[in-house]
Chains A and B, each alone.
Chain A
Amino acid sequence: MYNGIGASAGIGIGSVVIVKEPNLDYQRVTIKDASAEESRFQAALNATIAKTQAMAEDMRKRVGEKEAEILEGHMLLLMDPEMTGQIVNSIKENLMNAEAAVEQTCNMYRDMFASLDDEMFQQRATDVNDIKTRLLKDLLGVEEVDLGNLPENTILVAEDLTPSMTASLNAENVAGILTEIGGRTSHSAILARALEIPAVLSIPDITNKVAGGDKVVLDGDKGVVYVNPDDSVVAEYTEKRRVFLEEKAALQKFVGKPTETADGHRVELCANIGKPEDAKKVVECDGEGIGLFRTEFLFMDRPQVPTEDEQFDAYKTVAETLGADKPVIIRTLDVGGDKEIPYLNLPKEENPFLGYRAVRLCLNREEDIYRPQLRALLRASAFGDIRIMVPMITCVDELRRVKQILSELMTELDAKEIPYNKDIKVGIMVETPASMIMADAFAAEADFFSIGTNDLTGYTMCADRGNPDVAYLYSAYNPAVIRSIERTIKLGKEGGAIVGMCGEAAADPLLAPLLLAFGMDEFSVSATSILTTRKVISLWTMEEAKAVAEKALTFVTEAEVKAYLESVAKK
């Protein structure tokens, strides 16, 4: 068994076809006729550009716009004046043959990209290698491997899946992909997911560990690969694949459907995002809004606090991507001493999770951090149903202070006649035992609650899930956590607040009946969990959910709660 990075979900079962790059050996020679050699290079370059263009068009038809753009980027690289200039220069000045000139120049760029300190930029080294290979093939007249004609149930094994290989690939016959390099953001991963082919990447030396024709079973979720496994393993994974495909097909039925229980009780199903561009994925996955937009990314990996205008653009983009009728809950900055943001100059703390963080920090840094963020949020609220969520609230004074600042900012905006939503909803993240206990008081002053079960579980159980010695305590099935959730929802609703949940528990099928029975209004989950969650909710009637909740609340240990919820879970 081999382990790698599970990069595209699903189970692949089939026979190995190893795809190795063709032999591109050539002799380095000193040429005599530089202008003839330059013409030979230009002819090869033109041929490569023409083929790349054809591949891009084919890719657009078969896979999608985004994937075709990668190849269009290659065309721009091939036409880059610096690169072609350098190659021609090596031919003319140093009398290198075209192959050697291409290799030397491309390697220089490849090494430059590979040494950059950002994964996104490093990945461009693959693109340069890819165009180098294609240029050399055209110079040497080497035939391309025919990936358009693979046998059925092929498990494609390669060092790396280059965009040009994928472009010519007939995906229908490919049951899985294994590579030696590449992470979750590599081209191989993105393309495998777009083509819905299970893939495991970054398996060291896999092209030498398997031979053509070997039987392989792979799990693209867990990143596990079996080579020539026993019949029992094949049978186990054949069943897993059947279940996976059946569930996937069944989920498509839930696209465009309302999120409701079997007896028609409607709830709202939203998604959590970390970057403005993630909003597109939420729309694609049929989310009904954004339940949590973390704004930390705007503040990270940069030299100073983002300007109000930069933030305004990011918030406006998300609101416009979702559309004016969809709620977008944006959480104000949630950082503290455990996250590296050098320009904030935060002191190292003994107990960062009990320290100077989130709203505590923001209210102490109103001028340079909080007011610009709140002003950007207000301005963006003119473009959609933006709602402001304040994290890490422990006392009512904090919420009052935030609302006071907001009303001052509104007066400022009114004076300048800048539009914003005067009825913008302001809510709190309920993630501390203090806010849970005071939920009735908060409900009187907040428009909505969003229960952050990740921190609420940690703070309630006093356990850091990253510490293996106490991680056993970190579980949302603890009766203390379940009762906290119940209390928050009950008091929140009695006080007129909309109550949602954006922690991982919102997507937990075992907890779904409890959350429904407690009366939760909104579930916010990762984009990929939207359809699964909609399905789980559709399986319960409110009557059944209430019976389960009533019983679950009688248990006093985590193990009992979990065992009970597992015993009544619906598939």
Chain B
Amino acid sequence: MVSQKITINNPQGLHMRPAGVFAKGVAQYQSDVNIVFNGKTTNGKSLLNIIGACIKCGSEIEIQCDGPDEEEALAKAIELIESGLGE
């Protein structure tokens, strides 16, 4: 498993649009992509669960990827967040 911490900078946090961009972006990988926030683990491929985690602007989250293409999945996840998730 590989993981990395990152801060969410979207002004309104991970609401529907940015969360959708994230879930869609990591769906193509075989590895599990999880978001750990406030001690809870959320399936990063599930838009509903990301919204349910209520991740607001300025929150630090950890991305954990586990599976055959975990390195690529993690790199993609970080790239998506750093580029502002389409906002």
A277 is an interface residue with CB less than 8 A from chain B: yes
In whole angstroms, how far apart are the Cα atoms of A124 and B15 in the complex?
A: 9
In whole angstroms, how far apart are the Cα atoms of A463 and B45 in the complex?
A: 54
Taking a contact as CB atoms under 8 Å apart, the answer to whether A302 and B57 are in contact is yes
Name the one of B11, B27, B48 contacting A277, with C-beta atoms under 8 angstroms: B11
Taking a contact as CB atoms under 8 Å apart, the answer to whether B11 and A121 are in contact is no
In whole angstroms, how far apart are the Cα atoms of A117 and B15 in the complex?
A: 13
Taking a contact as CB atoms under 8 Å apart, the answer to whether A117 and B54 are in contact is yes
Taking a contact as CB atoms under 8 Å apart, the answer to whether B23 and A80 are in contact is yes
Name the one of A72, A82, A116, A277 contacting B49, with C-beta atoms under 8 angstroms: A82
B residues 29-67 touching A (CB-CB < 8 Å): 43, 45-49, 51-52, 54, 56-59
In whole angstroms, how far apart are the Cα atoms of A531 and B48 in the complex?
A: 41
A33 is an interface residue with CB less than 8 A from chain B: no
Name the one of B9, B48, B54, B59 contacting A80, with C-beta atoms under 8 angstroms: B48
B5 is an interface residue with CB less than 8 A from chain A: no
Taking a contact as CB atoms under 8 Å apart, the answer to whether A120 and B46 are in contact is no
A76-B23, A81-B45 known; A303+B58 contact, CB < 8 A: yes
With CB as the reference atom, state the residue of chain B lying closest to A313.
B9
With a CB–CB cut-off of 8 A, which chain B residues contact A124? 15-16, 51
With a CB–CB cut-off of 8 A, which chain A residues contact B57? 301-302
With CB as the reference atom, state the residue of chain B lying closest to A304.
B58
| Mask of A118-149 contacts with B, CB within 8 angstroms, 1/0 | 10110010011000000000000000000000
**Majority secondary structure, A binding face:** helix
Chain B interface bracket (under 10, 10 to 19, 20 to 34, 35 or more): 20 to 34
Q: Which of A72, A77, A82, A127 has the most CB of B within 10 A?
A: A82
With a CB–CB cut-off of 8 A, which chain B residues contact A113? 51-52
Q: Which of B9, B24, B47 has the most CB of A within 10 A?
A: B47
Taking a contact as CB atoms under 8 Å apart, the answer to whether B56 and A302 are in contact is yes
Name the one of B16, B23, B54 contacting A116, with C-beta atoms under 8 angstroms: B54
With CB as the reference atom, state the residue of chain A lying closest to B84.
A313
A310 is an interface residue with CB less than 8 A from chain B: yes
Question: In the assembled complex, how far is the CB of residue A278 from the closest CB belonging to chain B, in whole angstroms?
Answer: 11
Taking a contact as CB atoms under 8 Å apart, the answer to whether A82 and B46 are in contact is yes
A237 is an interface residue with CB less than 8 A from chain B: no
In whole angstroms, how far apart are the Cα atoms of A277 and B54 in the complex?
A: 20
A412 is an interface residue with CB less than 8 A from chain B: no
In whole angstroms, how far apart are the Cα atoms of A64 and B23 in the complex?
A: 24
Question: In the assembled complex, how far is the CB of residue A88 from the closest CB belonging to chain B, in whole angstroms?
Answer: 14
A residues 68-105 touching B (CB-CB < 8 Å): 69-70, 72-73, 76-77, 80-83
Known: A113-B51, A118-B56, A310-B58. 8 other contacts (CB 8 A): A69-B17, A76-B23, A83-B48, A117-B54, A124-B51, A301-B56, A303-B59, A306-B58
Sampled A-B contacts (27; CB under 8 Å): A70-B16, A73-B16, A73-B20, A76-B24, A80-B23, A80-B48, A81-B45, A82-B45, A82-B49, A83-B46, A109-B52, A113-B52, A116-B52, A116-B54, A118-B56, A120-B15, A121-B15, A121-B51, A121-B54, A128-B48, A275-B11, A276-B11, A301-B57, A303-B58, A304-B58, A313-B9, A314-B11
Nearest 3 pairs of A and B residues by beta carbon: A82-B46, A302-B58, A73-B16
User: Which B residues fall within an 8 A CB radius of A?
Assistant: 9, 11-13, 15-17, 20, 23-24, 27, 43, 45-49, 51-52, 54, 56-59
